[in-house]
């Protein structure tokens, strides 16, 4: 019954639905199909070796971490989360490949999900390895057109060795092309995948953030996304305006103060509000709260909670408008 959480962006894992019944995607050197039933989760290997698949899936979905005790602990710390926990009973964090996670989040900056998906699809096709074609299923009456979906692995540092900024710009990456090339170069100098996997062993999320922001195109939020979703940094709290809104609404209305944007000081303070409230796996708790704000989950949340969210949003919009009008009047004098 677990949902898989990759807040802010969900396309980076390259998993997709096949006729809305199965999830199909690459995991290491395999292509796997996963289907949830009312009582369990089934998987099958479509390409690659079957041996070890169950262990690799447990590792990828972080199944060594039981959710039920965490949900109970978080619910005791936050009455609002307790309501969400009942409605959305299984949000967990993936343990993604760090290189894939890193480059994917660089591509996600100032971008929308359809464009990111297209960008990463081109990236895989150009520099990844072909794995298999998956025939699309026609409609139930046999009248649907049958095409195929081609699955490629995510590029490795070796396969990106000769990639150029010009090539990446030609694929639609825009200014992010420079970030990809510069990050690739620094990563190779730093030790490549071993450098990233070593960060997974660190127990200081702030230190990991400091290491990651040395790379081109990676600010504090992207660093914390990479840390949380691929490096086991469960204290990392990726903070954007949506997370700041949750913190201001539910924990500390003064956290933003008079600032117009999220400064490094405010960024840390917002993250600390979650870390102070949730002793265990605060990054996971934060992700559950973030998921509850997504439009696709509104229909399963309690009606009073949805109403409160809407009322707070309207209140904030009024405050912003009043400030704008006051500023106009002050300038007119």
Closest CA to 195 of 107, 98, 103, 106: 98
Question: Tokens in use for 159?
Answer: 């396969």
Tell me if 164 sits within 8 A of 181, measured CB to CB.
yes
Mark whether 214 is an active-site residue: no
* Integer angstrom CA distances of residue 211 from 135, 186, 197: 42, 12, 13
Closest CA to 214 of 261, 248, 249, 179: 179
Backbone phi, psi, residue 233, to 5°: -90, 85
Q: What number of H helices and E strands is found in the chain?
A: 14, 8
Name the residue with tokens 């041996």.
51
Find the helix or strand (DSSP H, E) in which 43 lies: strand 41-47
Q: Which of the following is catalytic: 178, 221, 319, 324?
A: 221
Question: How far apart are the C-alpha atoms of 193 and 274, rounded to whole Å?
Answer: 30
Write the burial class of residue 202 (CB in 10 Å: 0-12 exposed, 13-18 middle, 19+ buried).
middle
Question: Tokens in use for 126?
Answer: 């150009």
Q: Which residues are catalytic?
A: 221
């Amino acid at each position: 019954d677990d949902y898989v959480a990759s807040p802010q962006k969900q396309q980076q894992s390259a998993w997709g639905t096949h006729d809305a019944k199965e999830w199909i995607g690459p995991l290491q050197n395999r292509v796997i199909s996963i289907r949830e039933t009312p009582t369990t989760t089934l998987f099958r290997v479509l390409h690659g070796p079957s041996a070890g698949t169950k262990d690799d899936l447990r590792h990828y979905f972080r199944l060594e971490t039981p959710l039920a005790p965490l949900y109970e602990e978080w619910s005791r710390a936050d009455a609002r989360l307790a309501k969400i926990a009942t409605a959305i009973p299984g949000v967990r964090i993936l343990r993604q490949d760090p290189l894939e996670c890193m480059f994917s989040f660089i591509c996600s900056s100032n971008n929308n999900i359809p464009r990111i998906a297209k960008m990463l699809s081109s990236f895989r096709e150009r520099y990844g390895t072909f794995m298999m074609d998956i025939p699309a299923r026609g409609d139930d009456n046999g009248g649907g057109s049958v095409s195929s979906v081609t699955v490629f692995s995510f590029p490795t540092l070796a396969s990106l060795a000769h990639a150029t900024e010009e090539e990446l710009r030609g694929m639609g990456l825009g200014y992010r092309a420079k970030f990809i090339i510069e990050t690739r170069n620094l990563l190779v100098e730093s030790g490549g995948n071993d450098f990233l996997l070593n960060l997974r062993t660190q127990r200081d999320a702030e230190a990991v953030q400091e290491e990651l922001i040395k790379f081109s195109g990676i600010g504090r939020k992207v660093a914390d996304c990479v840390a949380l979703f691929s490096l086991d940094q469960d204290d990392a709290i990726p903070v954007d305006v949506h997370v700041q809104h949750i913190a201001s609404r539910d924990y500390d209305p003064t956290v933003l103060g008079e600032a117009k944007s999220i400064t490094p000081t405010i960024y840390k303070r917002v993250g600390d509000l979650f870390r102070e409230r949730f002793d265990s796996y605060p990054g996971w708790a934060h992700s559950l709260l973030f998921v509850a704000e997504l439009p696709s989950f509104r229909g399963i949340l309690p009606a009073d909670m949805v109403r409160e969210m809407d009322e707070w949003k309207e209140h904030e919009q009024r405050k912003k408008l009043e400030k704008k009008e006051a500023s106009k009047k002050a300038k007119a004098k």
